[in-house]
Amino acid sequence: MVIIRGATTIASDCKEEVQKSVGELLEQIVIRNGLKPNEMVSIVFSNTSDIHSYYPAKAAREAGFESCSLFSVQEPDIDGGLPLCIRVMLFVEKNLVPKHVYLRGAKVLRKDLSGKINIAIDGPAGSGKSTVAKRLAQDYKILYLDTGAMYRACALAILRAGADVADEEKVCEVMGDVSLSVEYLDGVQHTFLDGEDVSDAIREPPVSMAASTVSKHRSVRIKMVEKQREIASKMSCVLDGRDIGTFVLPEADVKFYLTATPEVRAKRRYDELVANGHTVDFEELKENIVNRDKQDMNRDFAPLKRADDAILVDTSDLTIDEVVATLKQHIQERI
Ligand code: DC
């Protein structure tokens, strides 16, 4: 007896989704393992506790799996588990090396089998990209790459050198002498300049505008993008930035463009800065954000813009949980 495993996710808890996903999963298992009906002895399903609408076993019967025994169980509620997920074990009477099948959002459970997943999130400052990207990375257990941190680190290096961030030649000269690296400590991205952890220093308000100016330079972008592509080519990750879907990873599996009104975005940044002990003027902060957006959107090389195939999500009136749920639904429908 050989056991073939698999899993898939559904976009929402409804009968049609369960039927569609179960049918698709079993069909792929059959195709990839070259199974005949009489070789399948038994199929056991388990589904996460957030699925109530339909039994996977019933969906399997309806999909034509009539000659084998079928069984469904519901899993306990596991904190941080992949939501809306259906797992399967198929017992077969055949001498074969099983090809396990992971589809849709469940690909993240077996990245070794499913290949890499790259999720691109672009949008203006304060649109919620980094908070949401971190949550997705945590839930899917993949890497979060904050590309803005790289431009911020460049800007910090130039500011510390007392150079003009608008002077491309000078910027290149300074950056030629500095080593910039991104490392992960306990799963959290840290940015280093010449071995110094500058993860906090790059969040200081003056660095934001300087990062936007530094990121206009083509030569800077080429270097940063090279590092970003290298990381994304090696592992599954969620990347957030301004040009991920349009330039860094035009072939990303799923792309999002988050937006929110300038008021809302400025309020989010304001709350964040105040919580971190900064004294800020709200109107000034809002003006800075609007100016930064303008600069990021109007630069010549790889400007901030929505990729044609990016899903637009306006986060103005949504909570973080709602944004995360919206993105997950799209991700699970697409991968
Ligand atoms: O996301 P952030 O606020 O940390 O980004 C700081 C600046 O870096 C932003 O104003 C523009 C630039 N940036 C970019 O040009 N491309 C990216 N992929 C990420 C950030």
Give 177 Cα–ligand 1 centroid separation in angstroms: 22
Give 147 Cα–ligand 1 centroid separation in angstroms: 7
- What is the CATH number for 43? 3.30.1330.40
Q: Is 335 exposed, middle or buried (0-12, 13-18, 19+ CB in 10 A)?
A: buried
**What is d(CA 255, CA 312) in angstroms, rounded to the nearest whole number?**
9
Are 296 and 149 found together in one domain? yes
Place of tokens 């459970």: 109
Are 47 and 130 found together in one domain? no
Q: Tell whether the model's pLDDT for residue 111 goes beyond 70.
A: no
Strands (E), the chain: 2-9, 40-47, 69-74, 85-92, 101-102, 118-122, 143-146, 180-185, 188-193, 196-197, 237-241, 254-259, 311-314
Q: Tell whether the model's pLDDT for residue 11 goes beyond 80.
A: yes
Helix (H) or strand (E) holding 234: helix 218-234
Mean of all residue pLDDT scores within the chain: 93
Give 39 Cα–ligand 1 centroid separation in angstroms: 55
- Of 76, 111, 146, the last residue of a domain is 111
* Ligand 1 nearest atom to the CA of residue 292, by list position: 10
- Of 111, 126, 158, the last residue of a domain is 111
* Ligand 1 nearest atom to the CA of residue 209, by list position: 10
The answer to whether 257 and 313 have CB atoms below 8 angstroms apart is yes
Are 205 and 309 found together in one domain? yes
Are 75 and 160 found together in one domain? no
Are 107 and 122 found together in one domain? no
* Ligand 1 nearest atom to the CA of residue 228, by list position: 18
Are 219 and 289 found together in one domain? yes
Q: What is the mean pLDDT of residues 141-149?
A: 93
Q: Tell whether the model's pLDDT for residue 109 goes beyond 80.
A: no
> Which neighbouring-strand residues pair with 86?
8, 47
Q: Which of 212, 222, 301, 304 for mutating ligand 1's site (highest number of atoms within 8 Å of CB)?
A: 212
Strands (E), 49-164: 69-74, 85-92, 101-102, 118-122, 143-146
Span of 133-137, 138-142, 260-264, 314-318 with lowest mean pLDDT: 138-142
53-104 pLDDT, tens digit each: 999 999 999 999 998 999 999 999 877 678 899 999 999 999 999 999 998 8
Q: Which of 242, 244, 255 for mutating ligand 1's site (highest number of atoms within 8 Å of CB)?
A: 242
Give 122 Cα–ligand 1 centroid separation in angstroms: 10
Nearest CA residue ID for atom 6, ligand 1: 148
288-310 pLDDT, tens digit each: 999 999 999 999 999 999 999 99
Are 141 and 93 found together in one domain? no
**What is d(CA 148, CA 290) in angstroms, rounded to the nearest whole number?**
17
- Say what the pLDDT of residue 151 is: 98
Give 242 Cα–ligand 1 centroid separation in angstroms: 6
- Of 111, 140, 163, the last residue of a domain is 111
How many folded domains does the chain comprise?
2
Q: What is the mean pLDDT of residues 198-222?
A: 96
- Say what the pLDDT of residue 270 is: 95
Q: Which residues line ligand 1 (CB under 6 A)?
A: 125, 147-148, 151-152, 208, 211-212, 215, 241-244, 292, 296
Q: Tell whether the model's pLDDT for residue 114 goes beyond 70.
A: no
- Say what the pLDDT of residue 278 is: 87
Are 124 and 214 found together in one domain? yes
Are 151 and 263 found together in one domain? yes
**What is d(CA 212, CA 96) in angstroms, rounded to the nearest whole number?**
56
Q: Tell me if residue 286 falls in helix, strand or coil.
A: helix
**What is d(CA 61, CA 70) in angstroms, rounded to the nearest whole number?**
8
- Say what the pLDDT of residue 235 is: 86
- Say what the pLDDT of residue 283 is: 96
The answer to whether 223 and 90 have CB atoms below 8 angstroms apart is no
Are 161 and 86 found together in one domain? no
- What is the CATH number for 231? 3.40.50.300
Are 133 and 45 found together in one domain? no
Range of the domain at 257: 118-334
Nearest CA residue ID for atom 2, ligand 1: 148
Are 29 and 132 found together in one domain? no
Q: What is the mean pLDDT of residues 124-146?
A: 93
* Ligand 1 nearest atom to the CA of residue 295, by list position: 10
The answer to whether 124 and 294 have CB atoms below 8 angstroms apart is no
223-248 pLDDT, tens digit each: 999 999 999 998 889 999 999 999 99
